[in-house]
């Protein structure tokens, strides 16, 4: 969901879909967490918890139900607990999530332009970075990889790109991850020289070692931390349909 924020900030097509909409949508899992998606002035915000005054409330009966719904399973439609009459808002939001899926999946239309490839790389980096937190908390293979790495703050960034920095605090109590400016000086930073290199690296289309040697990818700081985080990140392909 945080990728919706970056999508709206960086994609004119997404902003056209949003138009002048001002509304809040709540996604909640029975017995579990909830988030609120706010739409206003062509921007999207994502906050934890169910905010009051939501125009639409979508209810999921379990984590499995939520994941299946996001994977596009027809049987996994959420329960529309409130706001079923807001047809226009629901239609706009569906179009927005369809646009996000096209960007994340790297559709032919998106990848046909340099701007689309840069957007795909940026959002893929955000998804990968934010995914490290749940992996560190609940995936045994990722936990094994991270157990070999020293604690510290790892940062991934595309140099010169707006909304293209993510961080993961390995060893913190909650395995915190986020995007935007890191909370402190990083212990290791992995940076891509530009969006084209990030695009190729995230899709496995370049030799990473050669790219580091050529200065296209720069790693500075605790190399063992970078190695452990990268090994854990490889587990994301088993969870993300991108």
Q: Which domains does the chain have, with CATH numbers?
A: 2-105 (3.30.1050.10), 114-238 (3.30.1050.10)
Distance (Å, whole) CA 165 – CA 189: 10
pLDDT at 97 over 60: yes
pLDDT at 23 over 60: yes
Strands annotated E in the chain:
23-29, 34-40, 43-48, 56-60, 79-82, 152-158, 165-170, 177-179, 188-192, 217-221
Task: List all residues 6 or more positions away from 161 whose beta carbon is below 8 Å from its beta carbon.
Answer: 118, 122, 194, 195, 198
pTM for this structure? 0.84
N- to C-terminal Cα distance for the chain? Answer: 14
For the ranges 4-8, 104-108, 127-131, 162-166, the lowest mean pLDDT is seen at 162-166
Distance (Å, whole) CA 120 – CA 108: 11
Run of H or E including 224: helix 223-233
- Residue 242 pLDDT level (bands cut at 50, 70, 90): very low
- Residue 240 pLDDT level (bands cut at 50, 70, 90): low
User: pLDDT tens digit string along 124-174?
Assistant: 999 888 889 989 998 899 999 999 999 999 999 999 887 789 999 999 888
Q: In this predicted structure, what is the pLDDT of residue 11? A: 92
Between 92 and 67, whose confidence is greater? 92
Q: In this predicted structure, what is the pLDDT of residue 132? A: 92
Q: In this predicted structure, what is the pLDDT of residue 74? A: 82
Residue 162 φ then ψ, to 5°: -75, 145
Q: Give the pLDDT mean for 209-224.
A: 95
Distances (CA, A) of 89 to 4, 5, 21, 93, 182: 15, 17, 8, 6, 34
CA neighbor of 101 nearest in space, from 70, 69, 128:
70
pLDDT at 241 over 60: no
Task: Supply the mean pLDDT for the chain.
Answer: 91
Distance (Å, whole) CA 189 – CA 155: 5
């Amino acid at each position: 969901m945080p990728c919706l924020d970056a999508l709206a900030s960086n994609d004119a097509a997404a902003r056209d879909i949003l138009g002048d909409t001002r509304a809040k949508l709540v996604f909640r899992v029975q017995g579990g967490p909830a988030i609120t998606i706010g739409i206003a002035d062509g921007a999207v915000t994502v906050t934890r918890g169910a905010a009051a005054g939501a125009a639409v409330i979508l209810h999921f009966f379990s984590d499995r139900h939520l994941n299946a719904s996001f994977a596009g399973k027809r049987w996994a439609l959420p329960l529309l607990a409130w706001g079923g009459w807001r047809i226009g808002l629901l239609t706009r939001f569906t179009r927005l999530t369809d646009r996000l899926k096209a960007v994340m999946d790297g559709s032919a239309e998106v990848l046909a332009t340099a701007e689309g490839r840069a957007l795909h790389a940026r959002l893929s980096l955000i998804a990968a970075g934010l995914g490290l937190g749940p992996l560190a908390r609940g995936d045994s293979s990722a936990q094994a990889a991270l157990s070999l790495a020293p604690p510290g703050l790892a940062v991934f960034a595309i140099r010169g790109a707006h909304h293209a920095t993510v961080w993961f605090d390995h060893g913190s109590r909650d395995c915190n991850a986020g995007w935007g400016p890191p909370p402190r000086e990083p212990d290791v930073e992995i940076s891509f020289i530009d969006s084209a290199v990030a695009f190729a690296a995230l899709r496995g289309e370049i030799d990473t070692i050669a790219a580091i040697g050529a200065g296209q990818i720069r790693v500075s700081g605790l190399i063992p931390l970078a190695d452990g985080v990268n090994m854990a990140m490889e587990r994301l392909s088993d969870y993300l349909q991108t």
